[in-house]
Amino acid sequence: MANQFRLATFNLENLDYSAARRAVFERRLGVLKPLLNELAADILCLQEINAQKTADHDSRSFLALDRLFAGRPYENYHRATSVRPGTAAPADVHNLVIASRWPIVEHRQLFHDIVAKWSWTPPAEGRSTQGPVEVAWDRPLLYACIASPDGAPLHIINLHLRAPRAVPLQADGATGGDSSRSFVEGQFLAAQKREGQALEARLLVERLFDADPAARIVVCGDLNSREHDSPMRILRGARDEDTPRTIPRILVPLAERVDEARRFSVVHGGRKILLDHILASPALAAACSSVVILNEGLQDEVTAQEPILGSLHAPVMASFIS
């Protein structure tokens, strides 16, 4: 590391642009640009970046992101972006972006490249038969290897796990309209998706450690999980919360260093919860000098009124010193 650097993760809450809503977009920029300036991140991991078309038959590009970065140092950063699986073009919504002050020497996305898709058949339970349901991630994860000035690579995994909302399944049918069966089965399926993609990300981490036991690795993003939930336990690679932070392959949740009263990135129904995380390998965790969550004035996502100015997520930023 060259003295110090900053890494930040930020869910930008469906960053989008259209000419018809330009005035609203400009108001969003007035909130988001000062936040990005305050972060002053050398590496910026973003979630929920939408891609737009300038005309009906044009391919999609990151018009909204380009306008957000315009006139700021981020405009000249190197970028890695996700694409719609099976194509070379970005998805219309919820793309991932890694922007870096330093060159990105390798990047790729993973979408069932390590963990294969599988199917699950809900029990019939006296209703019309529900066929097998494919278990597939909602979006890929994004990996980038960054050439830091000291010559040692930085491995960055940007991840946006599925929210814990039930996957829509067929109606309960013979069980009656008051049954909660479809909901609970959909909730179970959502958990499979979230934990399955956490497993794919963790197995990528294992491969990086196989190649270099002292690898400098960050997994960050909107993980839609609190610190003791199963996806976080899978990503950390620890047996339990009391596992020493010094074991070679553990990922350390850096937000634990923030005072508990400030340790939240989302407000939901009056509850302050931490869903956005930065997890670091031991080599990086030892070099972390500070962690900040810019959650002052964060709106409650249950009662927030449209249009959303800024984001309903707070950015999380970690500083590192060599």
Return the pLDDT at 180: 84
Per-residue burial over 168-204, b if 16 or more Cβ lie within 10 Å, else e, is: ebeebbeeeeebebbeebbeebbbebbbbbbbbbbeb
Q: For 37-73, what is each residue's pLDDT tens digit?
A: 999 999 999 999 999 988 877 889 999 999 999 998 9
Return the pLDDT at 38: 95
Altogether, the residues listed in the chain come to a count of: 322
| Number of domains the chain is built from | 1
Return the pLDDT at 104: 98
Return the pLDDT at 176: 45
pTM for this one?
A: 0.94
Phi (first) and psi of residue 283, to 5 degrees: -60, -40
CATH number at residue 310: 3.60.10.10
Return the pLDDT at 58: 85
Return the pLDDT at 20: 87
Is 107 within 8 Å of 142 (Cβ atoms)? yes
Which residues, given as ranges, of the chain have pLDDT below 50?
1-2, 173-176
Alpha helices in 212-261 (DSSP H): 230-236
Cα–chain center distance at 263: 17
Q: List the beta strands (DSSP E) in the chain.
A: 4-15, 43-49, 78-81, 95-100, 104-110, 118-120, 133-135, 141-147, 153-160, 216-222, 252-253, 266-268, 271-273, 276-280, 288-293, 316-321
Residues 6 or more apart in contact with residue 138 via CB below 8 angstroms: 94, 162, 193
Return the pLDDT at 175: 43
**Residue matched to tokens 């960055």:** 156
Alpha helices in 248-313 (DSSP H): 282-285
Return the pLDDT at 119: 95
The residues that bridge with 99 in the sheet, in sequence order, are 44, 79
Is 280 within 8 Å of 318 (Cβ atoms)? yes
Pick from 307, 304, 248, 311: nearest CA to 275:
311
**Residue matched to tokens 């040692």:** 152
Q: What is the domain extent for residue 256?
A: 4-321
